Amino acid sequence: MHGLAQFVAIAAFAAPAVFAQSAIWGQCGGEGWAGPTTCVSGSTCVESNPYYSQCLPSTATPTQPSEPSNSPSSPSGSGGGTPVSTGIVGQPTGPGLNLAAKKAGKKYFGSATDNPEFTDAAYLKILNDTNEFGQITPGNSMKWDATEPEQNTFTFSGGDQVLDLAEGNGQIVRGHNLVWYNQLPSWVTSGTWTNATLTAAMKNHITNVAGHYKGKVYCWDVVNEPFNDDGTYRTDVFYENIGIEYIAIALQTAREADPNAKLYINEYNIEYAGAKATSLVSLVQSLKAANVPLDGIGVQGHLIVGEVPTDLETQLALYASLGVEVAITELDIHVTDLPTTLPETAALLAQQQEDYQSVITACNNVPGCIGVTIWDYTDKYSWVPSTFSGQGDACPWDANLDIKPAYNGILAGFA
């Protein structure tokens, strides 16, 4: 990060005098753009969408002759995999991600956030920008361990803080989540339950939490991650004591607690066809056939750079065809081999940009896909590195809160 910070500082200081041309990855055109329309040597101005043209390395645009580069953002060495000092675009100059999503007919583009981040003024400034984000998801503070740490003792302070922020900005909130095997307090996981006692405890939790936020959240992830990757049901405390009926009971209870909230099942590794996706489809069909209230399928979208499923759009369309809305609820696309590639190579950043664009394009092409949420917008607060050692850099903003090429991939996907 040292080299990068240094570059950003130098670029910011020298930009007006030196760069009559845009740097590699910089903007070079688009509706309303008053800056340079030519690129530094070694890069070419390529239109991403009507709002955004970008200087791409000439190696990525083989129709252009390759010239020796003198850009400060170019690799200092040569050859594939050589670390480069940037790829960072700086601050956004385009229409904003939420505006682009809305222009494309979507309900929102949003971000997850978490309460400890609220002390970071620079972070909040971007989160509060409704041109970028029209929707917020609390990453942790509406979960069971946060809201009912002791049985029937409810604490809403963290969730309320996120809701208040979003309400103040005019951003909608996705409630996350009501029933999940993870982040449960020990009184749930270690309790001695029967079907009847756990059903009552689960209904009490949903009634109180969804009741507290009644009329204030757009939707709830009522049941989160009910399946194993092989398509079998996850044998968590709910499944073991109540059976698969816990899902229908949870949905019905949530409907009674907040009749206007859209009720979702949220899951990961359903971005591609397979056993898990097939089981989810069967579940949704059987819930619908039994008139259980269910309004949406959340496709989380925790993906890996270079490995975005090619059938994502097909899967989104399949889910929408079941008579529910679909949302990408937790998108991030992480790099798996950080130690050897830090700072990121231009190739990785370009691949990540392409990957973000293809995910957004998939949602854009499916009318039933109503919006996309990224699982926090900046690498500064991404969950990935603390969960997967040596992996990360998953977000469209870097840890310095500058946008990465991925940002432009999102814009291009909505175009």
User: Interface with ligand 9MR by CB under 6 A: which residues?
Assistant: 139-140, 182-183, 224, 300, 330, 383
Neighbours of 200 (CB within 10 A): 12
Q: State the virtual CA torsion across 284, 285, 289, 292 in degrees, nearest 10.
A: 0
Of 139 and 405, nearer to ligand 9MR (C-beta) is 139
Output the CA angle 118-143-164, nearest 5 degrees: 40
Of 143 and 404, nearer to ligand 9MR (C-beta) is 143
CB of 333 to ligand 9MR, least distance (A): 14
Of 91 and 183, nearer to ligand 9MR (C-beta) is 183
DSSP secondary structure string, 73-90? TS-SS-STT---S----B
Do 155 and 201 meet the contact criterion of CB atoms below 8 Å apart?
Answer: no
Of 43 and 177, nearer to ligand 9MR (C-beta) is 177
Task: Please identify every residue annotated as catalytic.
Answer: 330
- Closest among 396, 248, 249 to 333, alpha carbons compared: 396
Nearest-angstrom CA–CA distance, 218 and 47: 35
Q: State the virtual CA torsion across 122, 126, 129, 131 in degrees, nearest 10.
A: 150
CB of 108 to ligand 9MR, least distance (A): 18
Of 223 and 360, nearer to ligand 9MR (C-beta) is 223
Residues 6+ apart with CB under 8 A from 341: 81, 83, 335, 348
Q: Give me the residue whose beta carbon is nearest to ligand 9MR.
A: 383
Residues facing residue 56 across a β-bridge: 44
CB of 378 to ligand 9MR, least distance (A): 13
Do 28 and 55 meet the contact criterion of CB atoms below 8 Å apart?
Answer: yes
Determine phi and psi for 266, rounding to 5 degrees. Answer: -120, 135
Number of H helices, E strands in the chain: 15, 12
CB of 182 to ligand 9MR, least distance (A): 5
Of 261 and 395, nearer to ligand 9MR (C-beta) is 395
